[in-house]
Every structure is written in C-alpha cells, then in structure tokens.
Structure 1
C-alpha cells in the first residue's frame, strides 16, 4: 500500500512539474524573457515562490535551446532570528552559484515606519535598489522575480480599488534608468500549484517577519476575495487572467490610449471593434491545465508555447 502511495505521489509530482515547466517555458517564449548568453539573477527570498522559480529554471536550462547562466541572490535584511545558514546550505547542496547580500533594511524600516503601519512600500523600494546594484556588480543581464499569476491579479485589483489605476505587474519590464530588465517567469503559474510543488519538494522555507506578520493588509483582503471567487466560481480566475492579455483600449476611458477625440462621422479605425461591443458577449471557457496535459512533452521544453 505504501509503495502504491509513493508511486502515486511521484506521478502527481512529475505531472505538476511538467505543468509548471510548460507555464514557465510559455511565459519565457511569449515575452522573450531569456536570450542566448543571458546571466539570470534569481532573487531568492526563502519563500515558496522563489524556491520554485529557481528549481524550474534550473530544470528548464537542461534542455533549453539556448545557453544562459543562473546566479541566486539572497538579501539578508537582518531580521531578528533570520536563519542565515539555511539558504547557503541549500544552494551549495544543489550546486548553484550564489551571493548573499547583507543589508540592515529591517532596521531602517522599523525606524522609519510607525508601529502598526504597513512596511511593504519602503521595504520593497530598499530591496529594489540593493538588488539592482547587485545585478550590476554581478554582470547579470536579467533579474528574475518569483511573482506568479495570482500576484498579478491581486495587484490589478489593488490598483483599481485603492489606487484608481488599471495596471498590474508586467511579466517583463525595464528599470527607470534603462539599466536593468526584470522578468517574472512564473507569470502563468497558479499559486496553488506552487504551494503543492513547494510542499512536495520540501524546500526549506524561511518566513518573512515583516510582510507576513502584518494584520489586515490590503493585499491579503484582495487575496481572500479572489480565493473565495475561485472556490465559488471555478474558472473565474483563469478568465480574469485571460482578460489581462486581451485588452481593448477603445472600450475603456483613457484618452491617452485611444484617440476618442478623433472619432468623427465616417471615420473607420482599422482593427477596432467599434459597436460590436453592444453585441452579445461570447463567454470563453478557459482551458484548464489538466485538459492539455496530454500535449506536454515529457521533459522537453523549448521555450515554445504548447498549442
């Protein structure tokens, strides 16, 4: 019985790994995230997302049609009780080049932010500056972050609800000074898949005493809302994420994105939907991963979307 359970667990883990590999490979291909000769700096926090990101990228590199290097970087923010030995021991055990950067951002955040206030904004700015500097020192051409599909949707709703903007996390972006390119290879991956994978791989998770310990965070409120929708209306999350990839500027209200003033009698805009927006909408049922699992190649991902 135990042998059968082990076989089933192994089968499920392989299936889950294939799905994550496929999603990461598709994201890399769709947004040209990694190119020949790149040195990818994987930001490793010690959480489930960054561990999964590093693991999948290392796995993909084996059969990738291009050569790229990987270096893992952890920012030790000097949080009290942070187990400094965990990440070096793990990275040495899997033979990955790495660098541990020690900066007391924890002390700065605790000094500057009043007790009870959200620390995320200042903390993220400090981390970003340090990681950009480290990427330059290491000669990294890409900075890989572990944000996934659910993070992107949460950010969309956070910006709409609290910021009055319709924007999310882009899968790929250029830093303001034009010197760094940030990529998010997990952009197509579900958080629940990452959780299962992290548990199955038994990564040595290190909790964050800044972010995770703050009650009533706006992001947590949005996360709870999306998870409730996912339970009550299966497929809604997939449909919403599809909407991020299917934007019609002419049917929104931003004159910077579409020339509404230029609309006059007789004007025809090529490729614009026009008044078909008033037709009955066709509801597209998203394909679930399990339905296309049979099309995944066994371990051979070539940074090309599976049709």
Structure 2
C-alpha cells in the first residue's frame, strides 16, 4: 500500500467498501473480478480501493477493462489512462469503439444513453467471458442508486433501482457494486486526494440527461433537508408492502381466485 493512501478518508472508504462486500457476499475466495473503469473519478477510486490489502474480504484477482466510447478523436484521455494502468502494474484490457457516436446518431435521437450503456455493457460481458471473470465490479455508488430509483419512478413507472449484487446469465456471472454504501461527494474528495488521471466525459448528452435533472432536483431539496438522500436510501430497506396499492390489489385478486377455486372444487 502506498503511503499516500493511508489517510482518514482512505480508511473510512475502505471500511464501507468491505462492509458492502461482506454484507452482500460480493466476492468469494478465488474470484476473478473484472473492474469496469471509464476513467472517471468513481471508477478509478473503486479500482484503487479494490487494489489494496483487504481485512475481511477473501483473496481474489482483478482485471481492469476500459471501453472507450469514441467521443474523443484525439484519444488523449485513452493514452493517459493506459499509462496509468501500466505504471500501476494492472492487468488490463482497453478497447477503442464508436459506441458513443453510433448511440447519438440521427436514427437514435430519443434515447442515446440507453443504447450507449447497453452496447458498452454487452462488450464488457463478452470480455468477462473471454478472460474468465465471474464478477463484474462497477463503480455505482449510493447516490447512483438513489437517482436510479427516482428515474425509474418518474420515467419508467416502476419502483426499482440497482442491486448491490446482481446475478446474470443464470448466476454464472455477477454484477457487483462495492461502493453501494458510499456517497459520491466522498469518492470525489478521495479522487482529488489521490490525484487520479481523470478522463473527463465528452458525451454531449451528459449535461442535459435525466440523471443530471434528478441530481439537480435532489441538490435543491437538500438545501431544506440535508438528510434527503440518506432518507431515500434508507427507505429502500423499509418497504411496507401493505401500503402499496398495486401490490394490495394483486393480493386481493389472488385471494378472490383462491376462493372461487375452492367453491368450484
């Protein structure tokens, strides 16, 4: 471990990262973990924390994967990120693609973010299979989970969010999110502390995305109630099924069906 990592913030983040991993059994002995690194502060912080000695987490190996969406024609960020991987001694796979421009082309104006995310995720799954990774670690943090809940409610008409540990392909792989318990502001602070070679996003949709709208909305609400985000996150673990009208209607329907079946028999 480098001396620069041994700060109060480092130990705080390590504690909550390891707690999330243990609470959801994200990593087990001998796992090969693919760490998705976009070049942003969140993913570089996740990689940095996972690449330090663990107290409670079993032994595992990791490989870094970076999928360049192709927004930056000069590829300066790509080259800087590759230099960082080499200097850190990481096993890594980096690919340049045209996923970004393709997703923002004229035929896909309605939902470029969905297609971009889907294509990048598809390629990550393919690489994970090729190099034998059974866990895919993504850098979604607590704020991402809160924002996704509201995005799905406001625009998708459902109550759902990201899972800390999500089995895919029948359980042969798992998507894990070790930063589940950690707030975005602390991750950004840690990234500045560690002076990561941040690759700024060149995505044209980023400033006007739904996620940006929700983030700004929460910032506004937080001015009156500083616990807004914390309360929403805690509410996900305090769901009162009997007070959700849709589920209550389904239960009543099932009950009526059982009564009718009993009368017929």
TM-score by length of 2: 0.86
Alignment partner of 2:41 out of 38, 44, 48? 48
Whole-Å separation in 1 of the counterparts to 2:158 and 2:21: 27
**Per residue, is there more helix in 1 or in 2?**
2
What CA deviation, in whole Å up to 9, does each residue of 1:150-189 have, x standing for no partner?
A: 0111111111111110111111112255442101111111
Match of 1:222 in 2: 214
User: Is the Cα contact below 8 Å between 2:39 and 2:199 reproduced in 1?
Assistant: yes
Alignment partner of 1:16 out of 9, 12, 33? 9
Residue 87 in 1 paired to residue 81 in 2? yes
What CA deviation, in whole Å up to 9, does each residue of 1:28-54 have, x standing for no partner?
A: 111110011101100000001100111
What SS does the aligned partner of 1:136 have? helix
Q: RMSD in angstroms over aligned alpha carbons?
A: 2.5
Q: How does 1:187-226 map to 2 (within 5 A)?
A: 187-210=180-203, 213-226=205-218
Match of 2:262 in 1: none
Whole-Å separation in 2 of the counterparts to 1:64 and 1:257: 44
Match of 2:112 in 1: 119
What SS does the aligned partner of 2:181 have? coil
TM-score by length of 1: 0.75
Residues matched between the structures, number: 252
What SS does the aligned partner of 1:85 have? helix
- Unaligned 5+ segments in structure 2 are 257-265
Match of 2:236 in 1: 244
Higher relative contact order (CA 8 A, sep 6+): 1
Q: 1:35 to 1:178 in 2, by over 3 A?
A: closer
Q: How does 1:1-307 map to 2 (within 5 A)?
A: 14-59=7-52, 61-79=53-71, 80-83=73-76, 84-111=78-105, 113=107, 117-175=110-168, 178-210=171-203, 213-255=205-247, 259-261=251-253
Q: 1:225 to 1:98 in 2, by over 3 A?
A: same
